[in-house]
Structure 1
């Protein structure tokens, strides 16, 4: 589990777009704490600190303590919103949790020992990652930081499946298909053929759209 951290927040009395803009002009962003069979609690949190934590990794899998109005509330970030044009953080939703609260989260996957995989090192194959993160159900206090998978000995055509994951105690896969594919090692020409097929399909869709537009004009 990632190391926890503390956020000093302010209670929000006003909500809405105007109030949110005022907060952002003052270096804060709106957020809400919900869950735990309590009423949602609107708060304001520091923009810069939150933005840096978001881009440091593990934001959605790390418990935080929010200090607001004399309370210390343990939370897990559940969702955040970014401005679609300028890509800055605009809102965060937090879920109240205890150490035993079970949550569903996406845990990132990392790969190691690529140089020890003959299919990559000697034969020029490509690691085709099917799932960049794995959805699991876990106690909020025991969320894995990530899963590391070993590529040693893998050749072209080999795959890594969910059965290769080492799940900590109390952590379960959230997907019914228990042995789904996480990554495969493919020959470069296969990947190129897939890219060409996708490009051809995109060109066909574009041509169809143009044809339809011309028909509408007539």
Structure 2
């Protein structure tokens, strides 16, 4: 994906407020051997771009003053209740340096699994994005996960999925290195106990006695 940004000369709270009032969003680009660069982006164009999943998990082509550089989205600050982007951060991408990003997981095939078709279980995705490291050229827009082999009583773990070539999942220190990504919840079966049935039987007996 590509987008256009413009050089921003002024910084500070007042300058940023005036920029937002004019329909622009202040931002910054940092990383690499180049000094951080202040930028501004058309708010409407940015708002629509942020609705696209790829804008959050892909290497982007950013054009500033006629020059194009590769960046990744690092941070977005939203207004607490208005549809307004307050600030945005991008990091420059170096072809020789690995990236650490969150990549969405796209699940499919659950309806075809025995867990759902045969055993009427409910499939519950627990993790919807994965922390990964990879070279920029290997960064996937998303990771497809096939759930068609799910069985009752079995969950899907990180080590059960195949990651794209060159992509390594990162699990934070102290956490389980093979977390559950998807759980399989069996259907709830309501069984009537003798204690539940007894009052109904007593009621029938009392009714006959009155006759």
Q: How far apart are 1:12 and its partner, in Å? A: 1.2
8 Å CA contact 2:113–2:149 kept in 1: the answer is: yes
Q: How far apart are 1:70 and its partner, in Å? A: 4.2
From the two aligned structures, give the one with the greater helix fraction: 1
- Of 163, 169, 173 in structure 2, the residue corresponding to residue 167 of structure 1 is 163
- Of 61, 68, 71 in structure 2, the residue corresponding to residue 75 of structure 1 is 71
**SS in structure 1 at match of 2:36:** strand
8 Å CA contact 1:76–1:140 kept in 2: the answer is: no
Partner of 2:85: 89
Q: Does residue 33 of structure 1 match 2:51?
A: no
Q: Give the whole-Å Cα distance in 2 for the aligned partners of 1:70 and 1:115.
A: 49
So what's the TM-score if we normalise by structure 2?
Answer: 0.80
Aligned length: 186
8 Å CA contact 1:60–1:77 kept in 2: the answer is: yes
8 Å CA contact 1:110–1:146 kept in 2: the answer is: yes
Name structure 2 gaps, 5 residues minimum: 190-211
RMSD, matched Cα = 2.0
Q: Give the whole-Å Cα distance in 1 for the aligned partners of 2:59 and 2:22.
A: 26
Q: How far apart are 1:74 and its partner, in Å? A: 1.5
8 Å CA contact 2:126–2:183 kept in 1: the answer is: yes
So what's the TM-score if we normalise by structure 1?
Answer: 0.77
Name structure 1 gaps, 5 residues minimum: 191-218
Partner of 1:195: none
**SS in structure 1 at match of 2:35:** strand
Partner of 1:9: 5
